[in-house]
A = this chain, B = another copy of it.
């Protein structure tokens, strides 16, 4: 018997936005030597995080988490110079994106994003019966003017933009982002994904902590610079009336205790964050040099990954990717043309970056041979 799903799920394909490294390893039958595909930090977290995790495991694990994530909310409020009422802690940006769509997009309404941007946003839009309008990148960056125009033209209720961008690593000035938000109709909420915000290199690109608009939701995470992707914790910053909406629909006890404890500890260890950012900056230069040494063009990056232009078409870059995977290094690549002339390599440890550099020449040669 076919199950009787409600209309929106009944219309959806069984899909998954990403196939993870472990799932690929099970498919291949052997492990990767380096995971450089999901822009995860491969460096250890702060010792204070490890200590907080041990304490939570020992003392708190059998108790439901604190539903308002009160201490973490207070810590984030202090960190961002915002009121606690302007902060919503959630199960990573993925979970928060689902709540944003559910809260702000009715079935049939339009959400604007960039063609090739974060697929999990599109997954949630489809999942709640919305319609994705995707605007092509321009010069390997999100095209802010075209995004605003598409939002106006389609009467969109949501607009997704990231700064810095994934998968290209590009970025816009804060002034340009502010102009975008002010160019969008007031009934269209802008989701500004700042997952990579801690990695910014250009001071003019950093959104001021107190920057706010009634129709703006800023999204931050502990999965990238803080190295806690395994725990699932992120947050939204929004003006209080908008932030309050999340509490009508969120899974109140959904942010686990380990995540809350670790995030507070991570936020409190500024020295560890600074050391991480220094290591990432060095690793980014190391990967860029490896690319250049191999006649690939590293794109400028304000993130913890380097997107490398392979200089030919999407089929060639796909072949390069396959040859790298075959040599046991997990990386990914952008989907749509012309972004798909590139591969994307997350910054690992110096040793992992060297491993990538060691296998790259043979991978390129093999791809070249296959695609002659």
Contacts and interface: CB of A to CB of B under 8 A. Distances in A.
Most buried by B among A3, A244, A249: A3
Dominant secondary structure at the A interface: loop
Contact of A251 (B4, B38, B95): B95
A9 B247 CA distance: 10
A275 interface: no
Contact of A231 (B227, B247, B258): B258
Nearest to A185: B4
Contacts of A61: 45, 49, 53, 227-231, 262
Interface string A67-92: 11010000000000000000000011
Interface string A173-184: 000000000000
A118 interface: no
A17 interface: yes
A115 interface: no
Interface string A46-64: 0001100110111011111
A231 B256 contact: yes
Interface in A189-244: 189, 214-215, 223, 227-232, 241-242, 244
A252 B103 CA distance: 20
Interface stretch (A18-26, A134-142, A356-364): A18-26
Interface residues of A, number: 88
B232 A253 contact: yes
B257 A230 contact: yes
Nearest to A98: B251
21 contacts: A1-B215, A1-B241, A4-B215, A6-B103, A7-B106, A9-B249, A15-B248, A16-B252, A17-B252, A20-B64, A22-B70, A35-B63, A42-B62, A49-B61, A54-B54, A57-B57, A60-B230, A61-B228, A61-B229, A64-B230, A65-B230
